[in-house]
Structure 1
Amino acid sequence: MNKFFIMLAHSYFSKLKAKSFIISTIIIAGALVLLTNFDQILSSFGGEDEEKIVVKDETGYLYSMLKAQVTVLNKDIKLSPSDDTNEEIEKKIEEEEIKGQLILTEGKDGLPSALYKSASLSDSTVSSDLQLALQNIKSSLAANKLELSSEELAGLSGPVTFEKEALSEGAKSEEELSQARGIVYVLLFFIYFSVIAYANMTAMEVATEKSSRVMEILISSVSPVKQMFAKIIGIGLVGLTQLAVILAVGYVTLLNRKDDFAGGFFESFGFESLSVSVILFAVVYFLLGYFLYATLAALLGSLVSRIEDVQQMIMPMTFLIMIGFFISMFGLGNPESSFITITSYIPFFTPMVMFLRAGMLDLPVYEPIIGILVLVATIILLGVFGARVYRGGVLLYGKSNSYKDIKKAIDLTNNK
């Protein structure tokens, strides 16, 4: 047993000290800090973000109304009248002295019409805000022509009252579902990228040792089965360490800006009403998903003799993870569909699809537990089978990119 823990510690600390681990952790944590402070970073350049638009008002009355509307919609847009000719204005646009030109006219119906000119149409923010401001003016002028009051106009343009009510006892409200959908969406990405990254790392670790002939030395002192599970658990601990660092950085960063995000980011993604059960399910299904795919990755990694063959060998496994993720994305819109319910009990899809259902629906306690038991049973069966393949696979050398080598590995195990 001491040899197992020595192998586990070696797998863990060798990856922990690796430059790739340190650099990737710093990059991800730094990106998280930048993302949560992105608005402040942009605002620091706010002085240079003014969009100067010259307006040629051929109606004589629209400019003042438009300026009042734009001031409310977007303070970065600075309107100014101009008596220059169109050629002079277009030259200023080309020389980037101004952002664009807006020509205001009246249509045949007596309502506002406009033409916006700029160097390119790639920046749609300015034109969209100008269009919205003119739309508000048009609605107001049309209401005056029809002698409608402001209340009547608001009634016509306002959204229809449409309420929803769930009849099932314990069913979540529309607001609760939206919040649950946001947090589940974020955690699904977390599970997907984590599982696929660390499972691939396990396969690469096995293939690297085998290609360098280190495996031949190791199997003389430690059984291949102990090696396999030491690598799986060791790399799993590396993953948990990295995720703990990232989550700690994210928590501290978000905590410092909690008041800024209150009612916005936190509310839209469901962080304000985040329950302990959702976090618990995310951790449990992440760990089980990792052990499921890491065991499969170690099995497949033991069959190749060259690092170049690893990606080709584990490609079907990667597709399985991707399919489970895409099913979960579909399920965000309809988590109660029969398709989602059935696939949540298929072991290779359970980590993400069952988590989706547990996070968004009020499931009976036994359903997530059945999903966990299905995963545990599959991991055990895959572990037993994988150990047999791994024991013989580490002794296979030469070109190996076929799943027929699984039989060869088992035969080698049986003959030992």
Structure 2
Amino acid sequence: MNKFFIIAAYNFRDIISRNFFKISTLVISLLIMVILILPDLIVKLNFVSGDSSEYLIYISDGKNYIFDDDLELNLYLRNIEDNLDNKYYFKLVEREITEDKLMDKLNNGDIDGYINVISKNTINIFTRENYPEIKFILDRYILSKKFEDGVSYPNYNFESLSLSKNKVIGVIKNYTYPFLLLLFIYTIFVLYGQFIAMNVNIEKSSKIIDIFITKVRLPVIILGKLFGYLLVALMQLLYFIGILFLITGLMSDKYFPIIKEIIVFDTVFMLKYVLYFILGFIIYGLLFTLIGSVIDKIEELSIGLIPIVFLISIGYFFSMVNLQFPANYLKNLLVCIPFFTPFIVITDNNFVIYKDIVAFLIMMVTIVILVYINIKFSRQMIKFKGKNLRKNK
């Protein structure tokens, strides 16, 4: 057991001294700060609505289905303004102005809305906020015109930026927190995995493993090395989580209401998150160790790592799918696939005991199997290398 901790401590100190550890810690820390600021910044920059009670509405009616000029409408509007809570001014635009230009003016805040008359029976209304009075104004105006074939009220297709704003806020709330947690796992798994595979391959090629194997049992070498890497990765993960909640706690409720609502500490969820991170790191660490020991030349190592990185990416992809479709039944199956479990658990805050127990047991069995495979392949590689050395002599 003493040799196990010596190997773990050596690898722990080795990784901490590496530049990739320092750079990744700094970069992700800065990224956390940027991501925490973005949600409220996006909403404020794109959906700033004024407090004015006077609204400028453009009308696009190229074929004069309903509106011949805006003067008649505005004069009529003055007659019914006592029935309105706000003041409106309508302007009939030239036929050359496209809907894209009108939408740009709306997004830029130059106008408060525009009405696009598609036909006598269809009108599209786009506004910054929900102005139900516009429908009332149009209905009364159409009634006053008394069309030749009788009063005919068109179908209104109403859309406001405030509705889009709610959709954007919903997406932000749904994805920001899981995205950060997934970012930690994805980055650490890929970054440390490549380092593990490269380090194992170098040690094998430099015959360091031959020296170790004469004094320490092979399982102790593999697990000790992996445990050292795990300690560093776990330390880095806890640092990222600490930074996440520390910065969020220091933010003002007034200026960052969305992010303050999103980032909320849940003890049970965080314990489950860390637990599955540990198990997932061990599983992928063993896979990277296996690749590093099997591949002969370090130049070919990058090709061998592609399937494992692809597997991690699939786990990330499935987690995004679960966020998009939270009611799907596929997640109950995916959470039991050990390579995807660390990603899938982030998309489900519900703590279901039987499901978590099953997922935990499957991951533990997978770890045991991978340890056995690693030991078996490592011994075969050592024997094969020994035979080649004897042949060369």
| Residue in structure 2 matched with residue 246 of structure 1 by the alignment | 240
Question: Is 2:223 the partner of 1:229?
Answer: yes
Q: Which runs of 5+ in 2 are unaligned?
A: 53-57, 71-91, 115-126, 142-155, 161-168, 388-393
| Gap change, CA 1:321 and 1:289, over 3 Å in 2 | same
| Gap change, CA 1:140 and 1:337, over 3 Å in 2 | closer
* Aligned counterpart for 2:343 among listed residues 352, 357, 360: 352
Question: Is 2:270 the partner of 1:300?
Answer: no
**1:19-77, CA deviations, whole angstroms, 9 ceiling, x for partnerless residues?**
221122122223333444569999xxxxxx9xxxxxxxxxxxxxxxxxxxx98299xxx
Q: How does 1:168-317 map to 2 (within 5 A)?
A: 183-260=177-254, 263-267=257-261, 269=262, 271-272=263-264, 274-317=265-308
Shift, 1:334, TM fit: 3.1
| Residue in structure 2 matched with residue 10 of structure 1 by the alignment | 10
Give, in whole Å, the separation in 2 of the partners of 1:258 and 1:201: 40
**What amino acid is aligned across from residue 128 of structure 1 in structure 2?**
N
SS of residue in 2 equivalent to 1:346 = coil
Question: Is 2:333 the partner of 1:342?
Answer: yes
| Gap change, CA 1:134 and 1:181, over 3 Å in 2 | closer
Q: Is the Cα–Cα contact under 8 Å of residues 16 and 22 in structure 1 kept in the other structure?
A: yes
| Gap change, CA 1:317 and 1:157, over 3 Å in 2 | closer
Shift, 1:348, TM fit: 2.1
Give, in whole Å, the separation in 2 of the partners of 1:71 and 1:353: 38
SS of residue in 2 equivalent to 1:147 = helix
Give, in whole Å, the separation in 1 of the partners of 2:274 and 2:355: 17
| Gap change, CA 1:238 and 1:356, over 3 Å in 2 | same
| Residue in structure 2 matched with residue 393 of structure 1 by the alignment | 381
Give, in whole Å, the separation in 2 of the partners of 1:176 and 1:35: 16
Q: Is the Cα–Cα contact under 8 Å of residues 116 and 127 in structure 1 kept in the other structure?
A: no
SS of residue in 2 equivalent to 1:337 = coil
SS of residue in 2 equivalent to 1:264 = helix
| Residue in structure 1 matched with residue 358 of structure 2 by the alignment | 370
| Gap change, CA 1:388 and 1:126, over 3 Å in 2 | farther
**What amino acid is aligned across from residue 213 of structure 2 in structure 1?**
I
**How many aligned positions are there?**
314
SS of residue in 1 equivalent to 2:140 = coil
**What amino acid is aligned across from residue 366 of structure 2 in structure 1?**
T
| Gap change, CA 1:142 and 1:349, over 3 Å in 2 | closer
Give, in whole Å, the separation in 2 of the partners of 1:355 and 1:141: 44
**What amino acid is aligned across from residue 199 of structure 1 in structure 2?**
G
**What amino acid is aligned across from residue 32 of structure 2 in structure 1?**
L
| Residue in structure 2 matched with residue 147 of structure 1 by the alignment | 140
Q: How does 1:129-148 map to 2 (within 5 A)?
A: 129-130=108-109, 133-135=112-114, 136=127, 143-147=136-140
Q: Is the Cα–Cα contact under 8 Å of residues 288 and 305 in structure 2 kept in the other structure?
A: yes
Give, in whole Å, the separation in 2 of the partners of 1:205 and 1:125: 54
**What amino acid is aligned across from residue 93 of structure 2 in structure 1?**
S
| Residue in structure 2 matched with residue 82 of structure 1 by the alignment | none
Give, in whole Å, the separation in 2 of the partners of 1:217 and 1:229: 17
Give, in whole Å, the separation in 1 of the partners of 2:190 and 2:295: 19
**What amino acid is aligned across from residue 225 of structure 2 in structure 1?**
K
Shift, 1:394, TM fit: 5.0
Q: Is the Cα–Cα contact under 8 Å of residues 225 and 391 in structure 1 kept in the other structure?
A: no
Shift, 1:393, TM fit: 3.0
Give, in whole Å, the separation in 1 of the partners of 2:139 and 2:171: 42
Give, in whole Å, the separation in 2 of the partners of 1:185 and 1:30: 15
| Residue in structure 2 matched with residue 58 of structure 1 by the alignment | none
Shift, 1:351, TM fit: 2.5
Q: Is the Cα–Cα contact under 8 Å of residues 40 and 259 in structure 2 kept in the other structure?
A: no
Calculate the aligned-residue CA RMSD, in Å.
4.2
Q: How does 1:59-98 map to 2 (within 5 A)?
A: 72=50
| Gap change, CA 1:177 and 1:374, over 3 Å in 2 | farther
Shift, 1:125, TM fit: 6.6
**1:127-156, CA deviations, whole angstroms, 9 ceiling, x for partnerless residues?**
6234762424998777545438xxxxxx99
**What amino acid is aligned across from residue 380 of structure 2 in structure 1?**
G
**1:204-231, CA deviations, whole angstroms, 9 ceiling, x for partnerless residues?**
2211222334333333333332221112
Shift, 1:176, TM fit: 12
Q: Is the Cα–Cα contact under 8 Å of residues 39 and 259 in structure 2 kept in the other structure?
A: no
| Gap change, CA 1:384 and 1:132, over 3 Å in 2 | farther
**What amino acid is aligned across from residue 189 of structure 1 in structure 2?**
L
| Residue in structure 2 matched with residue 169 of structure 1 by the alignment | none
Shift, 1:362, TM fit: 5.6
| Residue in structure 2 matched with residue 113 of structure 1 by the alignment | 93
Shift, 1:183, TM fit: 3.6
Give, in whole Å, the separation in 1 of the partners of 2:340 and 2:311: 8
SS of residue in 1 equivalent to 2:93 = strand
Give, in whole Å, the separation in 1 of the partners of 2:28 and 2:298: 26
TM-score when normalising by structure 1: 0.63
Q: Which runs of 5+ in 1 are unaligned?
A: 43-48, 50-69, 75-102, 149-154, 160-174, 399-407, 409-416
Give, in whole Å, the separation in 2 of the partners of 1:371 and 1:290: 15
- Which range is displaced more, 376-385 or 107-116? 107-116
TM-score when normalising by structure 2: 0.66
| Gap change, CA 1:293 and 1:140, over 3 Å in 2 | same
Shift, 1:248, TM fit: 2.9
Give, in whole Å, the separation in 2 of the partners of 1:25 and 1:262: 25
Give, in whole Å, the separation in 2 of the partners of 1:355 and 1:142: 44
Give, in whole Å, the separation in 1 of the partners of 2:381 and 2:51: 65
